[in-house]
Amino acid sequence: MNTVDPIRDYGKLKDIEEYLKRTSERNWLLFITGTNTALRISDILPLRVRDVRNKQTLTIKLEKTEKVHTIQLNKKLRKAFRAYCKDKPPDEYVFKSRIGKNSHIKRGQAYNIINETCLMFGLDNIGTHTLRKTYGYHFYEHTKDVATLQAILGHRSPTETLIYIGKHQESVNKSMNSFEL
């Protein structure tokens, strides 16, 4: 199974954010939405201005599980959505495609945006799921609260969550590296 990695290096994460903010506000907002909500790209791309404008929370039906999910938008996202959506009509897609009248960018375009940008910063094994994994990795590094992270990500067990964010493998590698006979 081919999986992607989170962006573990906090400095690179911030450098990527700054680069995207300078070069494309839409792409910056896409990136920070993924890294600040833990939503899958399939749940981010169809967002409309009315879903996020002046909202404290975001309530959506998740595509994968079809469950209704409410998440708290942090201050950074509320401010970014407020500024970006200020003059846009409510029915417009937040991550509007330049192709078509009012359609959102597709998963392949989101992949290209994320992958090409991360490659410029020396990161590989990156995809759209990197954003969700990056949220999980840094949430865990900051809190060490695997139970809450498990709930946020909708996983069945703490082990599944640690494997998902790559912490399980880091722990195995560290243990194996320090063990000698």
The set of catalytic residues is: 40, 64, 129, 132, 155, 164
How far is the C-alpha of 94 from the C-alpha of 85, rounded, in Å? 7
Taking alpha carbons only, the member of 51, 52, 54, 30 closest to residue 42 is: 30
Residue 153 burial (CB < 10 Å; 0-12/13-18/19+)? middle
Contacts of 176 by beta carbon, 8 Å cutoff, 6+ apart: none
Q: Are 34 and 44 in contact (CB under 8 A)?
A: yes
Instruction: At 175, list the tokens.
Output: 């243990």
